[in-house]
Amino acid sequence: MRAARLHGYDQRLQIDEVPTPELRGPHDVIVRIGGAGLCRTDLHIIEGIWQEKSGVQLPYTLGHENAGWVEAVGDAVTSVRAGDAVIVHPLITCGLCPACRSGEDMHCEHGRFPGITTDGGFAEYLLTGERALVRLAEGVEPAQVAPYADAGLTAYRAARKAAGLLRPGRWAVVLGIGGLGHLALQCLQHLSAARLIAVDPSPTARELARELGADHVVDGSDPVAAVRELTGGGAHVVVDLVGERGVQQQAVAMLRQGGTHVVVGYGDTLQVPTIDLIFSEISIVGSLVGSHTELSELMSLHAAGKLELRTRRYRLDDINQAIEDLQQGRIKGRAVLVP
Q: Does 130 bind its own copies (CB under 8 A)?
A: yes
3-class DSSP assignment, residue 38 = coil
| Residue from the set 291, 331, 336, 337 that interacts with its own copies by CB under 8 A | 291
Interface residue with its own copies among 191, 224, 230, 338 (CB under 8 A) is: 191
In 38-170 the beta strands, taken as DSSP E runs, fall at 60-61, 66-73, 85-88, 125-129, 133-135
Give the nearer residue to its own copies in terms of CB position, either 59 or 74: 74
Task: Name which of 186, 176, 24 is nearest 112 in CA terms.
Answer: 24
Site for its own copies in 87-126 (CB under 8 A): 94-96, 98-99, 101-107
Q: Which one, 167 or 330, has the nearer CB to its own copies?
A: 167
Selected range binding its own copies among 3-11, 60-68, 221-229, 277-285, rule: CB under 8 A: 277-285
- Of 151-190, which residues contact its own copies (CB under 8 A)? 167-169, 190
Closer Cβ to its own copies, 12 or 82, answer by number: 82
Question: Are β-strands 334-338 and 28-37 bridged in parallel, bridged antiparallel, or unpaired?
Answer: antiparallel
Cα(162)–Cα(131) distance, rounded to whole angstroms?
27
**Dist CA 155 CA 260 (whole Å):** 16
Least separation in angstroms between CB 147 and its own copies: 17
Question: Which residue, 198 or 319, has its beta carbon nearer to its own copies?
Answer: 198
| Using rule CB under 8 A, residue 75 touches its own copies | yes
Q: Least CB distance from residue 159 to its own copies, whole Å?
A: 10
Measured CA angle at 266 (ends 260, 272), to 5 deg? 50
Q: Is 192 in the site for its own copies (CB under 8 A)?
A: yes
Contacts (Cβ under 8 Å, ≥6 apart) of 141: 34, 85
User: ∠ at Cα 127 (311, 51), nearest 5°?
Assistant: 75
Residues in the chain: 339
Q: Is position 301 an interface residue for its own copies (rule: CB under 8 A)?
A: yes
CB 12 within 8 A of CB 324: no
* Single residue of 257, 321, 329, 330 touching its own copies by CB under 8 A: 257
Other CB atoms closer than 10 Å to residue 319's CB: what's the count? 23
d(CA 128, CA 30): 6
In the complex with its own copies, the residue whose CB is nearer, 43 or 204, is 43
- Told to check if 11 binds its own copies by CB under 8 A, we report no
Q: Which is nearer to its own copies, 286 or 329 (CB)?
A: 286
- Is residue 298 close enough to count as binding its own copies by CB under 8 A? yes
Task: Please tell me the distance from the alpha carbon of residue 170 to that of residue 172, in angstroms, as a whole number.
Answer: 7
CA distance 118 to 91: 11
Q: Rule CB under 8 A: is residue 131 a binding residue for its own copies? A: yes
Count of chain residues binding its own copies (CB under 8 A): 72
As measured in angstroms, the least distance from the Cβ of 13 to its own copies is 22
Taking CB under 8 A as the rule, which mask of x and - marks residues 21-60 in contact with its own copies? ----xxx---------------------x---x-------
267 binding its own copies? (CB under 8 A)? yes
Region of 139 (left: φ > 0; alpha: ψ -120 to 50; beta: rest) is left
To its own copies, the closest distance from the beta carbon of 311 in angstroms equals: 21
The least distance separating its own copies from the CB of residue 174, rounded to whole angstroms, comes to: 16
Q: Can you say how many angstroms the Cα of residue 31 is from the centroid of all Cα atoms in its chain?
A: 20
Q: Which of 310, 311, 261 is nearest to 286 (CA)?
A: 261
Q: Contact with its own copies (CB under 8 A): which of 266, 311, 316, 336?
A: 266
